[in-house]
Amino acid sequence: MLTIRGSLTIIYEPPFYKGIFEEETQCSYRVAQFNFGTSVPKTRLVYLYLLAHYSELTFYEQKQKTKLCLKHANPKRLQRLARKNVGADFRGTKAQQALQKQHQSCKRSGKKQRNLVKKNKKQFQYEQRKNKRLQKHKGH
């Protein structure tokens, strides 16, 4: 049986309200981010947005290292674990880390693409110079 758990977190990063949608299954973790604008999004608008634009969300997928566990846990223990994890070198939430990885990979692929275009342009210019030189020395 496939279990899917999804959550939507709305955060305020001045000047915009951002929604971070997380999907978690036994084998993968997916996260997408979208902007709601500068005003506080109402629950009804958030719901309508998800219904209308869910297919347009671009998810960044990451393989799960641990199994998805939906067991009930003691709330005090969860608080203790959360405090321990937040206190120890906090680098953002799981969703923020996944979005950061997506951003870095997009930057790398863009850089590769720009370098390839630049290399092709140089090669084309070299070929043009070479042909021009050969045309000059043909002796009409």
Arithmetic mean of pLDDT over the chain: 84
pLDDT above 60: residue 35:
yes
The confidence score (pLDDT) of residue 90 equals: 58
Question: What is the band of 120 on the pLDDT scale with cuts at 50, 70, 90?
Answer: very high
Residue 89, pLDDT score: 61
pLDDT at position 130 over 90? yes
* CB-CB contact of 32 with 21 (8 Å): yes
Judge whether 40 and 53 are in contact, CB under 8 Å. Answer: no
Percentage of residues in the chain having pLDDT higher than 90: 21
